[in-house]
Structure 1
Amino acid sequence: MMCGVKRAAVIGGGISGMMSAYVMAKEGIEVVLYEKEACLGGHANTVTVNGTQLDIGFQVFNRVTYPNMMELYESLGVDMEPSDMSFSVSLADGQGCEWGTRSFSSLFAQKKNIFNPKELNNNEDIDRNETLGHFVRSRGYSELFEKAFLIPTCASIWSCPKEIMDLSAYSVLSFLRNHHALQVSHYIRISIIRWHILIFVAHLLNIDKEGLPFFSTLNPPYEPENTVLKWSTSHPIPSVGATKASAELNCIQGKRRIWFCGAFQGYGFHEDGLKAGALAANSLLRKDFTLQQNPKYMTTSWSEAGARLLVTRLLEEGGTIFTFEGSDKSCTLKVSLRIHTPQFYWKIAKESDLGLADAYINGDFTFVDKKKGLLNLFMSNELFSLFLDESMAYSCAVFKTTDEDLKNAQLRKIDMLIEKARINKEHHVLEIGCGWGSLAIEIVKRTGCKYTGITLSEKQLQYAELKVKEAGLQDQIKFLLCDYRQLPEAVGHEYMEEFFRCCETALADNGLFVLQFISIADEKYDEYRLSQGFIKEYIFPGGCLPSLSRVTSAMATASRLSVSHLEDIGIHYYQTLRCWRENLLINQNKILALGFDDKFMRTWEYYFDYCAAGFKLRVLGTYQIVFSRPGDVAAFGCDPLTSAPF
């Protein structure tokens, strides 16, 4: 790769080359990719046999040892599904040692081996420069152990049985450990790309009645009959020399504007190639980059194992995903959780809904879709209508008294925004995140202006357009279905400056920019944004609550705007949340009738209480800030002293 701002060359179109090209292209670099083969993808190889497409290089992976590949596939929307994978060995045509990984029973397929001490040897520490052959022989492992376990296991991975014993002992055994292949029983749950494997399995199960199933094998001891295709492929192997060379790779990276990357930098697999490509590209771009780390291997205590059995009715090790869809089959809403530590089960069994919150705060589980999270459960107009007021305003109201009606308090908040923005009939208002359109209708009714609102929810869009039509304001109000994070709005710490640049670009001459946002205390900001807390991922999935100083510093850095007025209405959010909670409990039976359960109700009750506490203690705030361009007197009217609503 040639270092430069505009163009880069990538040699090789395998997983490493394609990943590095992908990373650089996303940054706006023109990439030229060179590949000697007829197609890209390295081991990816689809052939047609008798009119049937066979993927002979289909990808298998799992969420524990392929975290970066999983993240890439999920970000690209690649369709995947779980599958089961097992391994078995049979020597001397079934007359020798036999064992498998399906269960404890299959491990000792020959029951006499249960009492054979040679079957139960443990490993000691390893010299990183030691070969696998020297390691096992110097520690007294038998020839049977080599033939019955080590060589078959490694050959199934690296497809080179003759050279297995010359590989690096450290690399091989650490790989086997990371992939749980050294356990007494390692029933593996893998993931596959859905369309590839469906074709393959259909023939495997002989669903195609016109022909026999296809069978793929590597390095068979003799050539099978009825062979329809024979091909060769290669794979990096973890030799001692490769291990030493990889440790010194940084000495040449970037020299003469050339970066090297490949699966050889790891164990030789797709995850290793992907990581190497991403690291090389980010190094060329001079950007910091943090790889996803393998989740910790989960070993449960007796109490945790019992709790897990109680909560899930099944045992899984190494991390798993549970999808909850409810018993009402007419309801399509669902949420998927990824379990990271066994403490999750104990906390849920012991503390129910509070245990769920505690487990989430401590990272015991996360949502598979971080941008949606529990929003998959509650993004319905019917649900919101049962705890919001008639205006369907899902933001902080402004109260005069604690017993004031919520609708009146929401209308007061809208009045404040209209006055602070100095809106008149000649203006065109852009609202980023328009919700269900309450502000749009009130603004146009009162001022007669033009209005455009942006939402990322189809259901909000449908509701808002219906309300606008009922009000007869279609000619003045327009809604757009748009991911407003593209502008971007509140997309996180790193993009705050870009947000202000974009907003100023959209702001007309003599225009005012009124921003209402939830904030976190400056003292807590760095700790909050660097951690996986309840607020950031559970309540505002995929977002990052800014602090006041972060917002104003971004404004000063990236725009010509300045603060004309600032007001913290956060204490009113406490009362707003109390009203929402009261409405939620009053309408509990109606919410349950929509398909939600008691656990959902308790979760939402906890959500409202948790947030209310944050606003009451002033850890959280809600600011309304008026921004203007310096010297733009016309933005405030002819007489700013008498017309100022501040």
Structure 2
Amino acid sequence: MNTVEAPVAPAVEDRWPMLEEAPTGLVTRGAAAAAATLFRTATKRLGISVSEDGSPADIVLHRPEEFYARISRHGLIGFGEAYLTGAWDAPELGETLTVLCRDIRDLLPGWAQKAGAVYERRRGAADLNTPENAREHIGHHYDLSNDLFALFLDPTMSYSSALFSSLPSTEDLAIAQHRKIDRILDEAEVGPGTRLLEIGTGWGELALRAAARGAQVTTVTLSVEQADLARRRIGAAGLAHRVDVELRDYRAVDGTYDAVVSVEMIEAVGARFWPVYFAKIDEVLAPGGTAVIQAITMPHDRMLATRNLETWITKYIFPGGLLPSTEAIAGATEEHTRLRMRSRLSFGPHYAETLRRWDTAVRDRADEVRSLGFDETFLRMWHFYLEYSRAGFAAGYIDVQQLTFTRDEAR
């Protein structure tokens, strides 16, 4: 096992405003002591070794007092924040998080989960993906820097799960990304003359491949950076006459389309607007048309339990985000639209492999990330985000699915 040197704690002025100082005080000390006991019990039961003296272990606590104070006050958010500040490390972060994720429902005894609920932060109005908030939420992540994303994504600039021919795989990531895209286009029956609407442009690869099939594509996004690069890529391919990239909210889309596709966009919609999202697809879909969405999903009970709570991911990575459940998607379409799910493909392990490759690329090119102006705290945040996400898919706690819908024209 590799040893991990203690990182230097970032100076206060270098921390992001949302990264608060570790809580202190008499109450915190008592809560931290209880958290330490619970943490040691849980990790021992799971076979995860923990070191507080710098010796090799699965989890190395560089500043135990800060670590326990943060998790006692803010639970999983505090766990992630303690990683950002360098209070702890893990030589094999993804593997360790996967073990924890497999046991996430029973990681703490029931009484401890109820006690922790006292400190859970509920989402406010600013987290709702209203038309006013949605552009800011999207910009928070997707407008960070096209150059940053280009450092770790494959040449297709696809920022969603690839679909490999088999796992484990040494297949080129770009080939697996094209397989994912082509399956979506095949399901949607996209070919010459197809009027295609894409909700969520990304950096334009799906629109490029659809246009190359002869489709006429309208693709909408709220990311200024993504729209700019997508237009340039489409123009360079000589396909600008077939693709219209619009900086527009999905709710403002009009027209009629033979097919509608949307890749990992629903996660940025929010539960309140899922009926609106699907109703818009239903509204613009031509008779006999097909809609295909690729969605990251979570178990229905966990979605219900966490949908109104702030999480580490919503605080630092995707403000306003929420993973739907398959049941929630079916409920929204059946109650509010004429859309009916025709088929679905589940391929969560493929996302775990995709994320592993992205994380490796970021770490291999860390100096280039720094050269773009991103600091060490950002690098730790991004590593934790990618490995935290990978753990969810590897453990089977979250999934990614391609869902195909047709419309019940009798309704």
TM-score by length of 2: 0.66
Q: 1:357 to 1:377 in 2, by over 3 A?
A: farther
Question: Is the 1:336–1:368 contact (alpha carbons within 8 Å) kept by the matching residues of 2?
Answer: no
Q: Give 1:384's aligned amino acid.
A: F
Paired position in structure 2 for 1:444 = 211
CA distance in 2, matches of 1:556, 1:476: 33
CA distance in 2, matches of 1:473, 1:529: 41
Paired position in structure 1 for 2:362 = 584
Q: Aligned pair 1:392/2:157, yes or no?
A: yes
Q: 1:538 to 1:384 in 2, by over 3 A?
A: same
Offset at 1:626? 0.7
Paired position in structure 1 for 2:230 = 464
Offset at 1:385? 0.3
Paired position in structure 1 for 2:23 = 342
Paired position in structure 2 for 1:499 = 277
Paired position in structure 2 for 1:380 = 145
What's the CA shift string for 1:560-585, capped at 9, x where partnerless? 11111111122211000001001111
Match of 1:453 among 215, 219, 225: 219
Highest RCO, 1 vs 2 (Cα 8 Å, sep ≥ 6): 2
Q: Aligned pair 1:525/2:303, yes or no?
A: yes
Offset at 1:486? 5.9
Offset at 1:372? 3.8
Match of 2:324 among 546, 551, 557: 546
- 1:315-330 aligned at under 5 Å gives the runs none
Paired position in structure 1 for 2:244 = 478
Paired position in structure 1 for 2:41 = none
Paired position in structure 1 for 2:173 = 406
- 1:507-522 aligned at under 5 Å gives the runs 507-522=285-300
Q: State which drifts further: 398-407 or 623-632.
A: 623-632
Offset at 1:343? 5.4
- What's the C-alpha RMSD, in Å, of the aligned pairs? 3.5
- 1:77-96 aligned at under 5 Å gives the runs none
CA distance in 2, matches of 1:369, 1:560: 31
What's the CA shift string for 1:494-535, capped at 9, x where partnerless? 222122111100111221010111111113111120321223
SS of the residue aligned with 1:434?
Answer: coil
SS of the residue aligned with 2:324?
Answer: coil
Match of 1:609 among 387, 395, 400: 387
Q: Give 1:381's aligned amino acid.
A: N
Paired position in structure 1 for 2:261 = none
Question: Is the 2:279–2:337 contact (alpha carbons within 8 Å) kept by the matching residues of 1?
Answer: yes
Q: Give 1:451's aligned amino acid.
A: V
Question: Is the 1:537–1:543 contact (alpha carbons within 8 Å) kept by the matching residues of 2?
Answer: no
SS of the residue aligned with 1:386?
Answer: helix
Match of 1:621 among 391, 399, 402: 399
SS of the residue aligned with 1:375?
Answer: helix
Question: Is the 2:143–2:224 contact (alpha carbons within 8 Å) kept by the matching residues of 1?
Answer: no
SS of the residue aligned with 2:286?
Answer: coil
Q: 1:341 to 1:404 in 2, by over 3 A?
A: same
Offset at 1:631? 6.0
Paired position in structure 2 for 1:44 = none
TM-score by length of 1: 0.43
Paired position in structure 1 for 2:102 = none
SS of the residue aligned with 1:478?
Answer: strand
Q: What is the percent sequence identity of the aligned residues?
A: 31
Q: Give 1:629's aligned amino acid.
A: R
Question: Is the 1:520–1:620 contact (alpha carbons within 8 Å) kept by the matching residues of 2?
Answer: yes
Q: 1:470 to 1:625 in 2, by over 3 A?
A: same
What's the CA shift string for 1:31-89, capped at 9, x where partnerless? xxxxxxxxxxxxxxxxxxxxxxxxxxxxxxxxxxxxxxxxxxxxxxxxxxxxxxxxxxx
CA distance in 1, matches of 2:199, 2:310: 26
Q: 1:348 to 1:456 in 2, by over 3 A?
A: farther
Offset at 1:554? 0.6
What's the CA shift string for 1:169-205, capped at 9, x where partnerless? xxxxxxxxxxxxxxxxxxxxxxxxxxxxxxxxxxxxx
Offset at 1:465? 0.7
Paired position in structure 2 for 1:535 = 313
Question: Is the 2:251–2:280 contact (alpha carbons within 8 Å) kept by the matching residues of 1?
Answer: no
Q: Give 1:523's aligned amino acid.
A: D
Q: How many corresponding residue pairs?
A: 304
CA distance in 2, matches of 1:338, 1:583: 26
Q: 1:601 to 1:466 in 2, by over 3 A?
A: same
Q: Aligned pair 1:420/2:101, yes or no?
A: no
Offset at 1:350? 3.3
Offset at 1:617? 1.3
What's the CA shift string for 1:205-243, capped at 9, x where partnerless? xxxxxxxxxxxxxxxxxxxxxxxxxxxxxxxxxxxxxxx
SS of the residue aligned with 2:304?
Answer: helix
Offset at 1:482? 1.5
SS of the residue aligned with 1:512?
Answer: strand
Paired position in structure 2 for 1:597 = 375
Q: 1:499 to 1:543 in 2, by over 3 A?
A: same
Higher helix share: 2
CA distance in 1, matches of 2:123, 2:330: 32
Q: 1:465 to 1:586 in 2, by over 3 A?
A: same
CA distance in 1, matches of 2:306, 2:183: 30
CA distance in 2, matches of 1:423, 1:621: 26
What's the CA shift string for 1:578-617, capped at 9, x where partnerless? 0100111111111111111222111111111100110111
Structure 2 unaligned spans of 5+? 1-8, 33-62, 71-75, 85-115, 128-135, 254-264
Q: 1:407 to 1:343 in 2, by over 3 A?
A: farther
Q: 1:583 to 1:341 in 2, by over 3 A?
A: closer
Q: Give 1:357's aligned amino acid.
A: G
